[in-house]
Amino acid sequence: MKIFKASWLITCDDSSTIIKDGAIVFDNSIIDVGEISFIEEKYPNIAVQDLGTNSVLMPGLINSHVHLEFSSNTTTLQYGNFMQWLNSVIASRDVLVEKATTALMGEKLDDMLRSGTTTIGAISSYSHDLKACVQSPINTVFFAEVIGSKGDMVDTLFADFKSRLNEAKGYLSQNFIPAIAIHSPYSVHPFLLREVLKIAREDELALSSHFLESPEEFEWLHKDQGSFLEFFKNFLGQETAVTKPMEFLNQFSQMKTLSFTHCVEASEKDLEKIKSLGAVINHCPTSNRLLNNSKLDLSKVEAPYSIGTDGLSSNNSLSMFDELRNALMIHETQEVNEFAKELLVSATKNGAKALGLNKGSLVKGYDADIIALNLPNHVDEEESVATHVILHTKEVERVFIGGENV
Ligand code: MCF
Ligand code: FE
């Protein structure tokens, strides 16, 4: 059992409680949280490790949506427009994916740990990222992705998906959990969708899908028009979308753990439906900005939202603190201090909900995934602690996963 004491404890609990001069007691899970005077009195025989002045303890960050297999991209892919980006992915995918070796992805995971991320939702298109995730101490919910809209390909694609999922299942452990990703409503055939959802329900696997990311996707799904039409005609010989947005969402009833990524073009009805499904929205603000998509309208979002970096295919960083700084700046109408607190909850508690994990809050009984960091100077007001944590943190001082220092 360990006790750590810090100037500030950001619990990310249901009420976003922040404790000044707080302490946390934990082994592999959290045993107690409170003011230092209370903890010292309750556990008089256990040594307290003081993290010093201007120190902060908070739950490890949860990056609910990342594509590690695109980690070799820096300047290759074209930003500024979703269709141009997609075409550049198709043109350069093989080269980029080949350059994303296990060693490179391992380095990216180490960088993520150093910048305070203790859990990721990794969307895996090819399982090239399997080894790197299994070897890393970071917690991974590993989403084997299904993709393919062409009828004559579905059997092959389904067989390939099942073999990737089964391989991932072989590595199930405390910090590696297999799950299922459906690429999107435009790219997955109804047969694949139905079969894969059946597996997710039967095996109680977490499920995630990209949903209404761009205006082009909206045009195509609702009206069979726009630049997706040209794309689907040329590449796949299709002239109509395989499903409408609401038809797609209607398939996702009774899922234990469900999330939709982006959703920036979702209608109010879609957002209501997402909420009623008990799903989380993975918000990837930098990716949305770089592909020139709209900004998620947080005033319309009813479901809880988590934060994802997406891959280096649509970001220049996999650091959650970089992502949180961008989110803080992009959503300029939100009051900054309240919003910073909300963002920290999104990046911890809500990420855990998106991935179906007992993590993300400094609350008794939760997994002891904890980060410690130091602010550069003294903060007087509890009100601005979250803002300063987001503004000033590049790397953290300590990372605990399941109570172990990593
Ligand atoms: O989230 C971004 C943008 N939207 C869709 N897909 C991806 C993103 N980053 C990587 N991808 C992957 C996706 O998982 O791109 C591949 C898929 O396997 C090709 S289709 C764009
Ligand atoms: Fe993505």
List pLDDT tens digits, range 353-398.
999 999 999 999 999 999 999 999 999 999 999 999 999 999 999 9
Instruction: State mean pLDDT over 322-327.
Output: 99
Q: Which atom of ligand 1 lies at the shortest distance from residue 147's CA?
A: 18
Say if residue 44's pLDDT is above 90: yes
Same domain, 136 and 22: no
Same domain, 276 and 167: yes
Same domain, 392 and 245: no
Q: Looking at ligand 1, which residue's alpha carbon is closest to its atom 2? A: 310
Same domain, 293 and 401: no
Same domain, 75 and 55: no
Q: What is the pLDDT confidence band of residue 12, given thresholds at 50, 70 and 90?
A: very high
Of the three residues 340, 355, 370, the one that is the final residue of a domain is 355
Same domain, 382 and 307: no
Same domain, 41 and 70: no
The pTM (predicted TM-score) of the whole model is: 0.98
Same domain, 53 and 65: no
Q: Is the minimum distance from the CB of 145 to ligand 1 under 6 angstroms?
A: yes
% of the chain residues with pLDDT over 70: 100
Of the three residues 317, 339, 355, the one that is the final residue of a domain is 355
Same domain, 305 and 342: yes
Q: How many whole angstroms from 48 Cα to the centroid of ligand 1? A: 46
Query: Known catalytic residues?
Result: 213
- At 158-170, the pLDDT tens digits run 999 999 999 999 9
Tally of domains in the chain: 2
The best mutation among 210, 284, 291, 292 to test binding of ligand 1, ranked by most ligand atoms within 8 Å of the C-beta, falls on 210
Say if residue 139's pLDDT is above 90: yes
Confidence (pLDDT) at 131? 98
Please report, for the domain that includes residue 132, its CATH number: 3.20.20.140
Please report, for the domain that includes residue 29, its CATH number: 2.30.40.10
Q: Is the minimum distance from the CB of 216 to ligand 1 under 6 angstroms?
A: no
Same domain, 309 and 390: no
Q: Is the minimum distance from the CB of 311 to ligand 1 under 6 angstroms?
A: yes
Say if residue 235's pLDDT is above 90: no
Of the three residues 333, 355, 377, the one that is the final residue of a domain is 355
Q: How many whole angstroms from 78 Cα to the centroid of ligand 1? A: 13
Q: Is the minimum distance from the CB of 210 to ligand 1 under 6 angstroms?
A: yes
Q: Which domain holds residue 393?
A: 2-60+360-405
Instruction: State mean pLDDT over 80-85.
Output: 96
Instruction: State mean pLDDT over 41-60.
Output: 98
Q: Is the minimum distance from the CB of 213 to ligand 1 under 6 angstroms?
A: yes
- At 299-308, the pLDDT tens digits run 999 999 999 9
Q: How many whole angstroms from 394 Cα to the centroid of ligand 2? A: 23
Give the ligand with the smallest distance to the CA of 313: 1
Same domain, 172 and 248: yes
Confidence (pLDDT) at 63? 99
Cβ-based neighbours of 166, under 8 Å, separated by 6 or more: none
Cβ-based neighbours of 1, under 8 Å, separated by 6 or more: 25, 26, 27, 31, 43, 46
Q: Is the minimum distance from the CB of 356 to ligand 1 under 6 angstroms?
A: no
Give the ligand with the smallest distance to the CA of 128: 1
Give the ligand with the smallest distance to the CA of 125: 1
Q: How many whole angstroms from 311 Cα to the centroid of ligand 1? A: 8
Cβ-based neighbours of 157, under 8 Å, separated by 6 or more: 146, 147, 148, 189, 192
Q: Which atom of ligand 1 lies at the shortest distance from residue 213's CA?
A: 4
Instruction: State mean pLDDT over 44-73.
Output: 98
Same domain, 208 and 314: yes
Angle at 309 between CA 27 and CA 102, to 5 degrees: 75
